[in-house]
Structure 1
Amino acid sequence: MLMNNLSIIVRHSKVFCERRLHNSGVGFPEQVILMYLASNNGVNQDAIAQHFMLDKGAIAKTLRKLEEKGLIERHQNPENKRENLISIAPAGQSILGEMGAALEEWNQSFFEGLSDEEIQQYRRITKKIADNVARINEKDSIDHQ
């Protein structure tokens, strides 16, 4: 049941975020990458793909859309001329404000009826689970090489 509940939460979250940012023309995958870049500005495509455990092609496609919309910029890495570093463009920064407001609204509804203690417990438990599954997949990847 845990996986079913998590899947439902993720799907509803995606729909909510896409509806809230519909007028900006930024889809959920683009929103997720912008949120990642908000905390990890100036990273390469491989770091993004590794973080989300997605193939580089899927990340490249989403980055291309973000670049075409003027929301991100690519700059050549001065330490490795073959690599581009990705950062949020000024237009992308303005979208982050809209995204933050939408996420705040989502969180208020998401945690409605829960005490502060329950919210903190939820965060601790889901962090542990996320760390566990990351370790499982890392070990499995090594075992199958």
Structure 2
Amino acid sequence: MARNRPRTTKQLIAGQQLQRFADFTDQHRRWQQLLQSCFQKLQLSPLLEHCEVLNIRANHLILQVSSGAIAQRIKSYQARIITHFQPEATVELERLEIRIRPAHKPATPKPAKVSPAPATETLEKELDAVGRLRQQAALCDEPLRSQLLALAQKYEDS
């Protein structure tokens, strides 16, 4: 099987895929600016940081928002937003589609509230556990007795 040679940087830059990506990026930037002007006109500017234009496809303006509450608020202005986007869209917009994707916030770990126990206290607890295991072993029948004694021995050895 013949291998394709790696493309040079000039070939990548001259390629159609890169040009299509650059065109889409420019178009996306214009859509985002249009959304900003629309929200300012509708006095929804505080929602702009939670909303982004994803695409205009198949007669749908597709927005991404960070919560359901924001989606409902924007949905109530659907007709006005479509009217505002209509002159810039290449197709006749019929519907506003809203996708909810919550912003990922890294969880802040809560500090563990573990107080370091002194080594002697830990040793006393282990010896107490070993003593209780031996006491229980004395009260049990053979298969369980040998298992409890083996467990007690394991604690003593460690």
Q: Give the structure with higher Rg (CA).
A: 2
| Structure 1 and Structure 2 fold alike (TM over 0.5) | no
* TM-score normalised by L of structure 2: 0.27
